[in-house]
């Protein structure tokens, strides 16, 4: 019998509705390799360094939550939790109320009171250490409540929706992607330019070039959205992005790409480098669809292009996310 202890530090994501989310990845989505031409399962010869553990095992989980803000609630989108918040609401203990099934990521959301108030955290140094560890550190943390103001330039933009329709997006994932696309399409400002790109092993575009948003072009986009399915083979993200970047932006219309995918590719670094190379004229907003979506691709493509990443889990309320 062996005991393995893993310690790590991670920044928790802040959701669009102000929740703070902790996620423990337990699902690995097979990654599509453009070189191999098919999905690479963990443990295969084409995916070195990954281990496929099939031995039945039990999983227990407990967590201690503490911070500077009062805890309002703790909940999980997928699992039932036993939650005990102490009297002064400064900390909470959590454990699973039911046996965990390894078909989704384990996650829970924390809602704090008064999160818009600034906080200061002091960490005292260790005088017996050298360098930075010896010094006292002070951190100021603030989360301003920025109300969305009117922007007369919002309509002067180009929006390109890039939708993953590969085989790995079947069932609930393609449903979530279609729902997200529908909401985004109906939220566009009149007068903007837009296009829809579908991709899998190959890719296709709704229009030859981005068209002005109108009742007619919206109807065309909605017709495409309604018939979308995960029927386009493998996950070739790089080629449609290269095609988009190869075209110059229309003057006065900053370009924004909305990429909806599970990120199931093996050439993640190439995609990130491409987004970074073009971040002067194009921002990419990524939507990680489904449990097991590639955090590396979703987060880093958005970061490299000065965009934002959003993860939509299988049981998430999509409208709260977008």
Write down the pLDDT at residue 255. 97
> Which residue in 321, 257, 266, 255 sits closest to 289, CA to CA?
321
pLDDT tens readout for residues 69-99: 889 999 998 899 999 999 999 999 999 999 8
Place of tokens 């095992």: 57
221, 213 contact by CB (below 8 A): no
Superfamily assignment of 158-321 in CATH? von Willebrand factor, type A domain (3.40.50.410)
What residue ranges do the domains of the chain occupy? 13-112, 158-321
Helix axes 268-277, 295-304, angle to 10 degrees: 10
The model carries a pTM of 0.70
Tell me: pLDDT of 133 over 90: no
CB under 8 Å to 226, separation ≥6 — which residues? Answer: 178
62 vs 154: which has the higher pLDDT:
62
Portion of the chain with pLDDT greater than 90, in percent: 51
Write down the pLDDT at residue 242. 96
């Amino acid at each position: 019998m062996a005991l393995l202890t893993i310690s790590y530090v991670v920044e928790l994501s802040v959701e669009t509705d102000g929740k703070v989310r902790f996620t423990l990845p337990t699902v690995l989505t097979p990654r599509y390799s453009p070189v191999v031409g098919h999905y690479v399962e963990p443990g295969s010869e084409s995916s070195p360094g990954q281990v496929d553990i099939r031995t039945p095992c039990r999983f227990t989980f407990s967590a201690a939550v503490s911070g500077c803000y009062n805890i309002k609630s703790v909940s999980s989108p997928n699992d039932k939790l036993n939650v005990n918040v102490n009297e002064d609401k400064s900390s909470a203990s959590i454990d699973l109320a039911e046996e965990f099934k390894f078909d989704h990521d384990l996650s829970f959301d924390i809602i704090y009171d008064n999160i818009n108030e600034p906080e200061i955290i002091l960490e005292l140094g260790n005088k017996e250490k050298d360098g930075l560890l010896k010094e006292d550190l002070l951190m100021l943390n603030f989360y301003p409540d920025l109300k969305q103001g009117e922007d007369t330039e919002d309509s002067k933009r180009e929006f390109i929706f890039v939708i993953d329709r590969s085989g790995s997006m079947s069932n609930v994932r393609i449903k979530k992607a279609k729902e997200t696309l529908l909401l985004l399409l109906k939220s566009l400002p009149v007068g903007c330019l837009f296009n829809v790109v579908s991709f899998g092993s190959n890719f296709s575009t709704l229009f030859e070039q981005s068209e002005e948003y109108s009742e007619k072009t919206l109807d065309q986009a909605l017709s495409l959205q309604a018939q979308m399915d995960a029927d386009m083979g493998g996950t070739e993200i790089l080629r449609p992005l290269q095609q988009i970047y190869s075209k110059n932006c229309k003057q006065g219309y900053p370009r924004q790409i909305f990429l909806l995918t599970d990120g199931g590719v093996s050439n993640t670094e190439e995609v990130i480098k491409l987004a970074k190379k073009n971040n002067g004229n194009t921002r990419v907003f990524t939507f990680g669809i489904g449990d097991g979506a590639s955090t590396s691709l979703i987060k880093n493509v958005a970061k490299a292009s000065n965009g934002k990443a959003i993860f939509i889990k299988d049981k998430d309320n999509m409208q709260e996310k977008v």
